[in-house]
Amino acid sequence: MIRSGVLSFIAFFFLVFTSLAIAKTESYHAAIDEDGVQRVEVVGGGYFYKPDHITVKVNVPVELKIRKEEGIIPHDFVIDAPDAGITVKESLTSESKVIRFTPTKVGTYPFYCSKKPPFFKSHRDKGMEGVLEVVE
């Protein structure tokens, strides 16, 4: 009887952690609007970005509309890829901000929160990061 209870407990936790791992990544493939701009809305907070994998086309303008969830913990949004025409470091607020750039090089570029309180892990180390994938 104890054995079946333990097995049920293990199965339950396996399902929960598997679904959390699957749910963690949210991809978004940006479409090109009628005006020739790729638009993406990004929300940050609680040590995540949603979506955390964004795919855009090279040499097509990108407009990111970024904000953070309500709360007192500060977050920012950083992409440091000057060789690809992308340099962003913007503090997030609950009000949306618009960031514009045109990626000039195909590749995969990380974005992340650079905040790190003293004596604690950085927000990036806690999982607040994602990938901007630039394709042909």
Q: Specify the length of the chain in residues.
A: 136
CA distance 51 to 35: 23
Q: What is the mean pLDDT of residues 3-31?
A: 58
* DSSP single-letter state for residue 95: S
pTM value? 0.81
pLDDT at 18 over 50: no
Q: What is the mean pLDDT of residues 109-121?
A: 96
CA distance 129 to 25: 10
Q: What is the mean pLDDT of residues 22-35?
A: 84
CATH topology of domain 27-135: Immunoglobulin-like (2.60.40)
Residue written as token pair 């199965």:
11
Percent of the chain with pLDDT over 90: 81
pLDDT at 15 over 60: no
Q: What pLDDT, in 10s, does the model give residues 55-94?
A: 999 999 999 999 999 999 999 999 999 999 999 999 999 9
Token couple for 53: 């994998």
- Map out the domains of the chain as residue ranges: 27-135
Neighbouring CB atoms inside 10 A of 127's CB total 16
